[in-house]
Chains A and B, each alone.
Chain A
């Protein structure tokens, strides 16, 4: 199985400051079709997960442009350019290239 490793586990951030979350996979996430199926999800307290980013760097509809995804192969990053209070929650990466599908362990973003 592909192991997804996120860091850090916890990320205290000052409002208005940037934040960055790393996600590494135990093997390449490049599919035979040429796509890289790496998604990012946000889970606010008490809510269901919400997809933010698909295929590494594509923002879902309605997702603020302060969220961006980058990376390739086995190393990926989610960046928040300026953290707002509504960004508090846990962020997960997920690979959709190899079966079984797997999630990272999550990164908790909180306000300092």
Chain B
């Protein structure tokens, strides 16, 4: 069974940093592209970032470019999102979602809440 479990969310002050993790199981993680998608409270879904299976290709939404860094460790079956210079508008539930192209977002984690507030 495919499982994606996010962790690392919490309360952080504006300008602070946080590192999210997504632990994958039930599939060959190293063979799949991965994404981060977020959802602000009461709002819709926003794609944040993508990483290829090898980590060689990465894309970001303009809203996070230069502040967030996506990475992965295929030996640990884990996906990461390093978030720096956090702003109030980054407050959201952050989901990791598997796949791209035909497999785009075929599985999602349960999400982890990030709250940016003083």
Contact = CB atoms under 8 A, between A and B. Distances in A.
A43 B42 CA distance: 12
Contact of B59 (A35, A48, A99): A99
A44 interface: no
Contacts of B46: 103
- The range of chain A's interface size is 20 to 34
B101 A96 contact: yes
A23 to B, nearest CB: 13
Contacts of A54: 102-104, 106
Interface residues of B, number: 25
Interface in A17-69: 35, 37, 39, 41, 43, 48-51, 54-55, 60
Contacts of A50: 108
B42 to A, nearest CB: 11
Contacts of A49: 37, 45, 95, 97, 105, 108
Nearest to B4: A48
B23 interface: no
Interface of A: 1, 35, 37, 39, 41, 43, 48-51, 54-55, 60, 90, 92, 94, 96, 99-106
Interface of B: 35, 37, 44-47, 50, 59-62, 95, 97, 100-111
